[in-house]
Amino acid sequence: MKIKLLGVLFLTLSAAAAGAYDRSVLAEYNDLYKNGNYQAALDGYMEIAAKESYNPYAFYNAGNAYFRMNKPGLAILYYGKAFRLDPRDPDIRTNLEFAMKHTGQTFVPEGMPKALHYLYYFFSDRELKAVATVFWWLACLLLSIYALKETLREKLRGVILGAGLILAGAFLWSSARSSSLFSDAAVITESSTQLLSGPGETFKTYATLPEARLVKVLDDTDDVYYEIGIPREGIKGWVKKTSAEKI
């Protein structure tokens, strides 16, 4: 059993290692960034991000390039993507917070202790889902053994209870996160984006949204418009999909 587990771990590690791209390629792009050639560096970072959708650093670097190119909306978009993949990374958190502050937004909601905010975002959405999946399988497996092996029931009770609690915790945490700022979020990427009262040009314009504003996507089924909500102001409306990008 132990050998099998080690085998699985080895395969996982190998898969992770295989995902890493050549360091010299990144160094080349970072040199471009260092020398102020942000567009060329960005093209490189986007190439890496396209190949490795799990790699938060490619998104982070792309966010940096956009920030340097004075495109705060796209910078926040890519910092947000990086943050959703690795919310514990201090560089990603710092730059996202910096960019949000730069655009008049707050990363840590007012009144919320920083430590609690950190804990709330300690695991990424994927990690929470993975934990729930693993413990779902584990709980089912343990229950099966519990049903079949009467002699092991005493020993298994505590383990099954623990697995069940973790599973429930992961579900609850995921549910709580669904209302977070970065869940189903989008960033306004164009300045003075019009917020309409319906999905079409014929509807009235409620308001104009500044570039880099984080909004909540309520419905994305329309071909041209997102239905979005702005929790802080308590309003919702429609914006063109070309004016906002989902994180």
Partner 1 sequence: MNISIPNNFFRIIRRPAVFIALCLCAFVPQSLHASFSISAETDKQSVEINDSLYLTITVSGDSSSVPEPALPQMNNFNIYSSGRIQNISIINGKIATSVAFTYILTPRFIGKQKIPPISVSNGGEKHVTPEIEVSVVKAAAPAQASQPQNAPRAQAARQPSARAQAARQPEETLFMTAETDKKTAYPNEQVNLTIRFYTAVPLTSNPQYVPPTFKNLISEDLPPVKNGETVIKGVRYTYSEIKTALFGIEEGQASINPASVFAQIHQGGAVDPFDPNFFQQFFAMNSGQGETRQVTSNSAALKILPLPEGAPAAFNGAVGNFTFSTEPDRREIKTGEALNLSLTITGKGNLKTLIAPKLPDMPDFKVYDTVSSLNISKDNDVIGGKKIFTTVLIPKTEGRRTIPRITFAFLDPATKTYKELSAGPFELTVEKGDGEGQNVSFAHGGQAAPITPISSDIRYVSDRTAAPLTGTAAGRISAMPLWLNLFPVGALLLSLWLARINDFRLKNPLLFRFRKAHGEARADLAGAADRLKNGRPKETASILYDSLLAYLYDKSGHKVSGLTMRRTLALLKEKFPDAGEDALNGIKDLWGKLEALHFSPGGATQEEARDMLETYTALLSLLEKEFKKRG
Which chain residues interact with partner 1 by CB under 8 A? 12-13, 15-17, 19-23, 26-27, 30, 33, 41, 52-57, 60-61, 64-65, 67, 85-86, 89, 91, 94-95, 98-99, 124, 126-127, 129-131, 133-134, 136-137, 139-141, 143-145, 147-148
SS3 call for 205 = strand
Q: Please report how close the Cβ of residue 235 comes to partner 1 at its closest, in angstroms.
A: 30
Looking at the Cβ atoms of 48 and 230, the one nearer to partner 1 is 48
Cβ-based neighbour number of residue 191 at 10 Å? 13
Q: Please report how close the Cβ of residue 68 comes to partner 1 at its closest, in angstroms.
A: 8
Looking at the Cβ atoms of 117 and 129, the one nearer to partner 1 is 129
Non-local CB neighbours of 227 within 8 Å, separated by 6+ positions: 199, 217, 218, 219, 220, 236, 237, 238
Q: Please report how close the Cβ of residue 103 comes to partner 1 at its closest, in angstroms.
A: 13
Q: Please report how close the Cβ of residue 12 comes to partner 1 at its closest, in angstroms.
A: 5
Q: Report residue 199: phi and psi, to 5°.
A: -80, 70
- Please state, in angstroms and rounded to a whole number, the distance separating the CA atoms of residues 213 and 100: 8
Q: Please report how close the Cβ of residue 2 comes to partner 1 at its closest, in angstroms.
A: 19
Looking at the Cβ atoms of 56 and 199, the one nearer to partner 1 is 56
| Burial of 158 from C-beta contacts in 10 A (0-12 / 13-18 / 19+) | exposed
Looking at the Cβ atoms of 19 and 200, the one nearer to partner 1 is 19
Name residue 190's amino acid.
E
Looking at the Cβ atoms of 32 and 214, the one nearer to partner 1 is 32
- Please state, in angstroms and rounded to a whole number, the distance separating the CA atoms of residues 152 and 43: 58
